[in-house]
Structure 1
């Protein structure tokens, strides 16, 4: 029986032209025998400017829906996520070879690990890449380690939420991505860290594209009052999950 990893991508018009490059990076992935990936592309909106860029492949599904932001688009895509694991991939990013297999190996080897992340390189407009310091030691990430670091480092986590690879049942139990105008992936990361151990790979697992149209580069993303509100609700959810002692796996102390 073939087991499946679901790749979830939210996309809107400005980033749609990057989809073929993301697809190529998926095609370059090698998985163990008995595993396959399926790519769920969910448009945030119903315009006609995304579909022409969607690859034609039996492993790719494309759907549209009313606009609600990337978190809403990813979460609605979970209705069709019929695999054991979910990997997030933004439309403008790429997976280096081996990324999926490393994430899979970490979670298959230890049932107490609920999610995985990896090192990131920025993909610059000229095609070069750039890293940055501050990665944690490779291996297991204990509960609350990311949450506590984030709260004391100007709301910046030491691992990147755009690299998340997650057990589907855990992702669904937490309600998917937060319904926020931004930082919805950080909200998910901190909720995951509040309830489950994670894993960090020091090998590069994502090429994070830097370009003028990306949402995180817009002035609205750094608007101070909104950012403070986003961070407040993100932290409150994670702290509440810890306070109520919800744990994954259920049998753990």
Structure 2
């Protein structure tokens, strides 16, 4: 069996969302010969482990160090050839993993996949985003970074939907060591060294709720954001420079 690894970092405020995330994962239908594994990593050593009575699910805890470190510790435990993001408070939509696998198997030069997403409001309503998606198909290296810069740090794709070849993810050092926006940092590194692919069919429900990390003051502080995004862009541009320089 071939495996896709689903990685979920979690901290105490989001533990209550894990059962719903599990149900969305359990409902996935994969291509023949494929299986999923779910690696939950608690950011902090004192969490009470949730049991899903499913051998495909493993739970571990590590010293509190932020989502990036939690993701990377889960990556260290993974065995799949592809790695899919799933934040603890979000849900996979039907067919999400199958579409990711189909693209990565069918396009050998594509290293990563993202897809459209919908919002899930507190009352259960599902809302489509105002679409400025790039459209179904291959995303050439460098395009995502150029749009990110020209649109004043507005992302053209949703990094929370990423599915990545594990060897490429390891070669880039996993998720970027930032207190926030670590998935954006990874995306910008990926798009520099490899073509990507955008799937127009939504794959994720992005939950809106009161303890959402991206709604917090720290995440949106202008000084903090300038430093985070500046580092993300500088890294991607340094990678681009290295990739375009002739070998010595």
Q: Give the TM-score normalised by structure 2.
A: 0.96
Per the alignment, residue 153 of structure 2 pairs with 155
Once the two structures are TM-superposed, the CA of residue 48 in structure 1 deviates from its matched residue by 3.0
Q: Which runs of 5+ in 2 are unaligned?
A: none
CA deviation string 1:109-147 (max 9, x = no partner): 011000000001011101011122211111101111110
Q: Which of residues 47, 50, 55 is equivalent to 2:52?
A: 55
**Which residue among 162, 176, 179 is the counterpart of 1:178?**
176
SS in structure 1 opposite 2:224? helix
User: 1:236 aligned to 234, 237, 242, which one?
Assistant: 234
Match of 2:16 in 1: 17
Q: Give me the whole-angstrom Cα distance separating, in 1, the residues matched to 2:127 and 2:46.
A: 34
Residue 5 in 1 paired to residue 4 in 2?
yes
Structure 2 partner of 1:41: 40
1:88 is aligned to 85
CA distance in 1, matches of 2:37, 2:138: 27
Residue 250 of structure 1 is matched in structure 2 by none
* 1:64 aligned residue: 61
CA distance in 2, matches of 1:77, 1:98: 23
Structure 1 runs of 4+ with >4 Å offset = none
Distance of 2:159 and 2:113 partners within structure 1 = 10
Q: SS in structure 1 opposite 2:189?
A: helix
Q: 1:79 deviation in Å? A: 1.2
- How far apart are 1:90 and its partner, in Å? 0.2
- Residues in 2 aligned to 1:128 and 1:13: alpha-carbon distance in whole angstroms: 25
CA distance in 1, matches of 2:108, 2:36: 21
SS of 2:92's partner is coil
How many Å separate the matches in 2 of 1:64 and 1:179?
18
Displacement of 1:47 in angstroms is: 2.1
| Deviation, structure 1 residue 29 | 0.4
Q: CA deviation at 1:8?
A: 0.3
How many residue pairs end up in the alignment? 243
- For the 8 Å contact 2:28–2:97, the answer to whether it is kept is yes
Q: Which residue of 2 aligns with 1:207?
A: 205
Q: CA deviation at 1:77?
A: 1.2
| Unmatched runs of 5 consecutive residues or more in structure 1 | 247-253
1:116 aligns with 2:113: yes
Alignment partners' CA distance in 2, 1:76 and 1:13: 17
Q: Is 1:220 the equivalent of 2:218?
A: yes
What does residue 95 of structure 2 align with? 98
Contact 2:139 2:195 survives alignment (8 Å)? yes
Q: Provide the rounded CA distance (Å) in 1 between the counterparts of 2:46 and 2:119.
A: 29
For 1:30, the equivalent position in structure 2 comes to 29
Deviation at 1:46, TM superposition (A): 1.3
RMSD between superposed Cα atoms in Å? 1.0
For 2:23 and 2:74, the matched residues in 1 are separated by: 21
